[in-house]
Structure 1
Amino acid sequence: MPGPTEPVHAVTSSAVHPTDDPAAAELITAAVRTMAEKGYHGTSVRDIAGAAGVAVGSLYNYFGSKHGLLAVILNRGMDGLVETTESALLNAGTDPAERLRAIVGVHVRRHAESPLESLLGNSELRSLEPSAREVIVTKRDVQQRMFERVIADGVDRGSFHTTNPRETARFIITACTAVATWFRPDGPLTADEITTRYQAVALDAAGFRGPRS
């Protein structure tokens, strides 16, 4: 078993922040991997600490509990997604097609590059206590509404011709999220190629009839 100074992770989780203490970063990365493999309830504090190469007490010192650690991971995942989506919209201008391309690009890439974090976000939300779960659901609603507004605006401006804008937005965001379940970096398509294809699919779903580039 790795000793307290022998972390086993080569790739740091996207839930880690640059300002995190190294031990906290190791715990987050270890928790993402072990919970993705065993599930939240099948993973013990000792499992996480052992995989991180730190003492069991470190988890309590940094996060208070296993539940607190899960909440940090899920909150950071949603915060990062919402922030990058907002930034993409800010930089996309006013054209509805460009705005849709921008947010689809962010969503696809985020889930392609952080599949384990995405898995936890979708499968372990139920493991949070009600108050903590409500926070995550609220952030998901914020993300969903950005897609809904982009589609609705495109319909209002005559760029999109879907007759079901809200359902179209849900369809697109669900499809983008699902990329995490099957995308592999060593697969036949790169993340950039997948992103481009999903942007085209999203425009089709929205009923876009203009030029594609």
Structure 2
Amino acid sequence: MRGSTDPLSTAPSSAVYPTDDPAAADLITAAVQTMAAKGYHGTSVRDIAGSAGVAVGSLYNYFGSKHGLLALILNRGMDNLVENTEDALLQAGTDPVERLRAIVGVHVGRHTRSPLESLLGNSELRSLEPDARAVIVTKRDVQQRMFERVIADGVARGVFHTAHPRETALFVISACTAVATWFRPDGALPAAEVTARYQDVALDAVGYRRP
């Protein structure tokens, strides 16, 4: 993104794809930065274009509207999260403990690496029009069901001992998502340690009895 001296603001957003036109990539990164700071409704098209260093009309050319840009950011975030979680499950094998560690690792990792995108996903879903919001909610449900299946399988196999697997899955995924609200790269705990601790907390929550 041009016109900024802040290293954090010049880093491309995780919602940017390698195939994006450079101007579109600048607009996506600028939108994440400005919407995270001002909120969707407090951010104007002119704010985004000015931060990106492009003409206002460029946003409409690439995304149709400010709403279209927000929808793209949220959709790409969920697509990335679901795809990475599915991949982690495929690589984790059949052990419920390793499967839970894997998906918690992906979910926490996403929210430590992309806190602004995660903030938008949590706070601005309400700003989407009903049809666009329904798409994101469906993708969130897919992610939630992966947690539910892993925990339910662990209970069925006698590895986890929670009496409420569905509610425990919701608790775990909500806790992992909330990492984005407090984690800072320059904070006391590095991302890897945060992830490891949340993996342990998740195993405690499902009633795993360590040997």
TM-score category of the 2 structures, normalised to the smaller one = over 0.9
Where does 1:160-199 land on structure 2 (aligned, <5 Å)? 160-199=160-199
Counterpart CA distance in 2 for 1:7 and 1:59 is 17
State the match for 2:201 in structure 1.
201
The residue that corresponds to 1:73 in the other structure is 73
Gaps of 5+ in 1: none
| Structure 1 vs Structure 2 CA RMSD | 1.0
User: 1:37 Cα shift?
Assistant: 0.6
Please give the alpha-carbon distance, in whole angstroms, between the structure 2 residues aligned to 1:94 and 1:121: 31
Which letter does structure 2 place at the counterpart of 1:71?
A
Structure 1 runs (4+) greater than 3 angstroms displaced: none
Structure 2-normalised TM-score?
Answer: 0.96
> What displacement does 1:143 show?
0.1
Q: Deviations over 1:33-73 (max 9, x none)?
A: 10011110110000000000000000000000000000000
Aligned length: 207
For residue 13 of structure 1, what is the amino acid of its counterpart? S
2:105 counterpart SS class: helix
Take 2:99 and 2:2, find their aligned partners in 1: how far apart are those partners? Answer: 45
CA shift for structure 1 position 148: 0.2
- What residue identity is the alignment partner of 2:200? A
Q: Which residue number corresponds to residue 86 of structure 1?
A: 86
Consecutive unaligned residues in structure 2, runs of 5 or more: none
- SS of the residue corresponding to residue 10 of structure 2 reads coil
Conservation of the 8 A alpha-carbon contact between 1:32 and 1:117: yes
Q: Quote how far apart the aligned CAs of 1:7 are.
A: 4.3
Partner of 2:152: 152
Q: Give % identity.
A: 81
Q: Does 1:46 align with 2:46?
A: yes
